[in-house]
Structure 1
Amino acid sequence: MAIGGAEDKTSDLEILKRVFDLAPEANAEVAVIATASSIPDEVLPDYQAAFERLGASRVHTLDIQDRQQAADDATLRLINQSGVIFFTGGDQLRLTNVIGGSAVLNAIRERLMAGAVVAGTSAGAAAMPGTMIYDGAAADALRKGAVNMTFGLGFVDGLVIDSHFLERGRFSRLMQIGATNPEHLGVGLGEDAGVIVHPNRVLEAIGPGHVIIIDSRDLASSNIADLSMGEPIAIENMILHAMVSGHGFDIEARRYLVADALDALLEESR
């Protein structure tokens, strides 16, 4: 699950409740990883309180700050016994730098395959796909080279996720990415909004905010390959969808799903 940032942690806890409710039956332990954050001592207690309020039996607050800690046996044990693994916000490049290729990342991937919930907010969401945005001003990102990308954590393929999407006007960042490789689906997460990536490759929007889909598969043309760095990008026929809670998107079929269609498709896969 990917969350756009600034999710409610003190009131209704709508999004965090969905995270916790998806945990495997009889496993109410939660691991919160604050590697991306520059202020872990401030953010970890907030998430601990929120998940405890939701009914977590134990909340493991993991401040993994270097690659030695990302190989720590005690940390691995806590991850292996958790039904929910949650990444806080901060700096996604710091997150991938510290845990990329580590024993901790391998353990999280194994937990995901075994049915645990892996979720992240803000930087933690942006780092989830195999391809990750780590920088790029929103004001003029439709110039070649204005968006910086690298490899993410690889929990989901075929997507590029951007957070704080509406609040920080980041449309042009995902538009440039769509022009560079139309196969990748852009997912822009507004604040207090998120998506569940179901096993059947269907996205489900959750929370009171918006989820924006930028679909470039049917891109008619773009000049991006012919430009020098810094020149303006032209794009023809890029499709945008705005999803609200309860709506969805079929990644493989490239099909928007209203609530009834989403429910039917999810029921088929159960």
Structure 2
Amino acid sequence: MTATAQTLATPPEEPGEARAPLPAAKGSLVIIGGGLRADNADVWQKIVSLAGGKGARIAVFPSASGTPERAAATSIAYLKKYGAEPFAVPVAQRLANSDYRKAADDAALAEKIRKADGVYFAGGDQARITQALIRENGTRTRALEAIWDLYRRGGVVAGTSAGAAIMSSTMFYRPDAILAMLRGGVRDGQEIAPGLGFIGDDVFVDQHLLVRGRFARMIPVMLAKNYKLGLGVDEDSAMVINAQREVEVIGYTGALLMDLSLAVTDTSKPDFNVSNVRISYLDRGDKFNIITQSYTPSPDKAGGRIDPARTALRGPVFSNDILGNNAVVNIMERLIDSDQNEAIGIASGNPRSTAPEVGFEFRFTKTPETVGYISSTVEAYSVLNVRLDIRPIDIPRPLYKYR
């Protein structure tokens, strides 16, 4: 195995378990984790480049926004800055003086979308996107069919935040807080609902991932809907996925890969639990092939595979708030360059509550398949195949008393 092609540890599916991908499309996806800044040239230029470069026609959907006029104007200004010729698509529930259902089935508008080179979904509430583009009887509107036609022939479909959530066939709909979902589970039509499925039926997608600790909420959804693979991307960052289903991470930070192929739960226990999840952190510049399950580090990490016998850190690795901002990546990075074999993260609620509560222990363990890479230019890591076990724990309350 060379340093530039690491196969992640994923065994073949049992017959009947695999989720079949949708028919192949020739286009590309740019799935952005939200918070995309105007000066993030890597992401904006990638969208324009995949749409054909300077002069590319990009249909901007502000459907998710509570202020669609403003969202469309802002997105159009950014895309123009990077050379595109974008236009607004007036299909949005909150758009003044407009019937979004009628607009979504307007034949002339659908043809204009179909002839574009790309589509861009602005952020907001993903439920507004699906409600605008899917008829009440569950069929696709003309506008949505036009997007699919564009994508199949080779166009780019990009989306940020809510525009990322719709990329998988299941999306978060009205989600509770993360701890509440771990304690109470997920329900169709409540916490989750159908997305638009551009990435295929076999991969689950989430966004705002590291900043908001959302990796933990991906797992119960994936278990409930039988996803074996999940991709979650952080803010101001993007996953670019081509027709060969090769994923490249670009932008500010990175993405998490969740592999539940070997995961098991103990159904005899009343509270949420899972063992043997495989979690990987893909930093910007890294690549991952969904079909072959192979990983290629960014050029600055190509010769930087970490030697487990020559780690830099010593002592226990622990986080008392694993759902905090970037906590999961921090603990994985510290573990991969540590003399320790495992790390513990805790998730709990209000420390001043008076009643005991159920919290969760997140145990990260190195296995023979665990691999880490470090950049030759900056202190940046990529971490592959860490085992993650989650189990419920009793949290006494109050957690502390003043002396």
Report TM bin, short chain: 0.7 to 0.9
Structure 1 segments unaligned to the other structure (5+ residues):
264-270
- Which residue matches 1:239? 278
Write the deviation string for residues 145-193 of structure 1: whole angstroms up to 9, x where unpaired: 2462221112121111111111111122111123335543111111011
2:233 to 189, 203, 225: 189
Amino acid at match of 1:131: T
SS at match of 2:280: strand
Amino acid at match of 2:256: I
* Aligned-CA RMSD value: 2.2
Larger radius of gyration: 2
Is structure 2 residue 180 aligned with structure 1 residue 140?
A: yes
* Cα distance change, pair 125–160 in 1 and its aligned pair in 2 (3 A): same
TM-score, length of structure 1 as denominator length = 0.87
* Cα distance change, pair 257–180 in 1 and its aligned pair in 2 (3 A): farther
* Cα distance change, pair 164–26 in 1 and its aligned pair in 2 (3 A): closer
Structure 2: how far apart are the matches of 1:25 and 1:93?
31
The share of aligned pairs that are identical, in percent, is: 30
* Cα distance change, pair 12–202 in 1 and its aligned pair in 2 (3 A): closer
Structure 2 segments unaligned to the other structure (5+ residues):
1-29, 93-99, 135-139, 303-403
TM-score, length of structure 2 as denominator length = 0.59
Is structure 2 residue 35 aligned with structure 1 residue 6?
A: yes
Write the deviation string for residues 225-247 of structure 1: whole angstroms up to 9, x where unpaired: x67xxx52110000111111211
Write the deviation string for residues 220-270 of structure 1: whole angstroms up to 9, x where unpaired: x1135x67xxx521100001111112112222333333236xx9xxxxxxx
Structure 2: how far apart are the matches of 1:26 and 1:191?
26
Structure 1: how far apart are the matches of 2:165 and 2:130?
11
- Which residue matches 1:84? 118
CA contact (8 A) 1:141 1:172 kept: no
CA contact (8 A) 1:192 1:207 kept: yes
SS at match of 1:155: coil
Comparing both structures, which one devotes a greater share of its residues to helix? 1
2:143 to 83, 99, 104: 104
Structure 1: how far apart are the matches of 2:149 and 2:91?
19
Deviation at 1:35, TM superposition (A): 0.7
SS at match of 2:183: coil
Amino acid at match of 2:42: E
Number of residue pairs aligned between Structure 1 and Structure 2? 255
Is structure 2 residue 237 aligned with structure 1 residue 208?
A: no
Write the deviation string for residues 46-67 of structure 1: whole angstroms up to 9, x where unpaired: 11111111111x2111130222
Structure 2: how far apart are the matches of 1:215 and 1:53?
38
CA contact (8 A) 1:85 1:119 kept: yes
Structure 1: how far apart are the matches of 2:293 and 2:60?
33
Write the deviation string for residues 180-230 of structure 1: whole angstroms up to 9, x where unpaired: 3554311111101111112112211111122111111121x1135x67xxx
